[in-house]
Chains A and B, each alone.
Chain A
Amino acid sequence: MDYIDPHLHMVSRTTDDYETLARMGCVAISEPAFWAGFDRGSVESFRDYFRQLTDFEPKRAAQYGIAHYTWLCINAKEAENVSLSREVIAMIPEFLECKNVLGIGEIGLNKNTRNEATIFLEHVDLAVKHKQQILIHTPHLEDKYQGTRMILDMLMGDSRIDRSRVLVDHVEEHTIEHVLENGFWAGMTLYPVSKCTPQRAADMIERYGPERLMANSAGDWGPSKPTAIPDLIMELKKRGHSRELIQRVVYENPKTFFSQSKPFPH
């Protein structure tokens, strides 16, 4: 079955992973900018990273017939450094016209600090001014609930935000309802240890229905599995769900959401 992985960090993956993804039916990927496993020292480091995301990765993906899209920002972990964050935010517009850029992301909170919230709001302002879609990172483990509520407060406090153009990722059982009932899109991240399993993601699909809901694998520097979406497809099939329902979550929904950005084929 063809599918789209809407949140996959291919810079931390090998070319063999691209081949495996292609064999499993992955036709498109969106790769939000994130933490590199270490804190970067200067704005130039981010400029090179954005070149990698907008130039090199799309070519690597194309070799396997996979379309590669991306989102730009300085992630929440490094946003603790406010002056560096402001330099990066000022530089992002240089890349907004690149033909695989879908918007600003993944912005969000990490430890739910004042500095993170300040830089989050400055990213939101950048997105609004440039009419960009937004992809949100919500914190993990004990910080998730508090951080998700804080993020939603900031988004809902800004009347300029079109909620149908915002995807809130890494939702789990205790945060999904807040995201969906306020009109945002929600992404479930399938992760072996600290996030959500394919089984629990299938439970949330059964519980809340497929509207504005998608799943991703993250595939980052941590222990993660870039082929987690096929695991979810298998789990849903095993439970007897229809092909239409599965296709809606793993293909149609990401396509509908991404189509609101200029570079995505309509």
Chain B
Amino acid sequence: MSTKQPMAERSATQIVADEFMIARAKIVELAATLDRIERASGNVDDSKNMQLLVQGIHILIDDQVEKAKRVQLLMSRDYDPEWQNIMSISKKGG
């Protein structure tokens, strides 16, 4: 399967032209959300969700590829290949 074959018809320049306003709006939304948290009373230093948001934002600006997938995995519970033994689920029909 040609999973690595890019099919995009648009150039990078074209995508930036097409999507600048959309991406800009999303960045402003995110910035305003962080401002809102900052202005509010209380402390979120120990909040797991706040830490996830900050780590997610770091993924956006690092120099690695597959950002959407990496943000998704960051926000996911871990998978343990031994789960069937741990839960004592019998393997059927194998």
The reply to whether A124 and B7 contact each other, CB–CB distance below 8 Å, is no
Name the one of B72, B87, B91, B93 contacting A173, with C-beta atoms under 8 angstroms. B72
Bound-state CA distance A180–B92 (Å) is 22
- Which of the candidate stretches B27-35, B36-44, B53-61, B73-81 sits at the interface with the other chain? B73-81
The reply on B64 being an interface residue by CB < 8 A is: no
The reply to whether B89 and A146 contact each other, CB–CB distance below 8 Å, is no
Q: Which residues from chain B contact A180 at a C-beta distance below 8 Å?
A: 1, 3
The reply on A68 being an interface residue by CB < 8 A is: no
Q: Which residues from chain B contact A124 at a C-beta distance below 8 Å?
A: 92
Bound-state CA distance A125–B93 (Å) is 8
The reply on B47 being an interface residue by CB < 8 A is: no
The reply to whether A114 and B3 contact each other, CB–CB distance below 8 Å, is no
Q: Known: A143-B77, A240-B9, A241-B9. Is A153-B93 also a contact (CB below 8 A)?
A: no
**A/B pair count, beta carbons within 8 Å:** 95
Tally of chain B residues near chain A (CB < 8 A): 31
Bound-state CA distance A143–B72 (Å) is 11
The reply to whether A209 and B78 contact each other, CB–CB distance below 8 Å, is no
Q: Which residues from chain B contact A241 at a C-beta distance below 8 Å?
A: 7, 9
- Which residue of chain A has its CB nearest to the CB of B83? A150
Give residues 60-75 of B contacting A (CB, 8 Å).
66, 68-69, 72-73, 75
Q: Which residues from chain A contact B88 at a C-beta distance below 8 Å?
A: 114
Bound-state CA distance A264–B73 (Å) is 37
Q: Which residues from chain A contact B24 at a C-beta distance below 8 Å?
A: none
The reply on A174 being an interface residue by CB < 8 A is: yes
- Which residue of chain B has its CB nearest to the CB of A205? B7
**5 A–B pairs (Cβ distance < 8 Å), ordered by A:** A114-B88, A141-B75, A153-B83, A154-B89, A209-B3
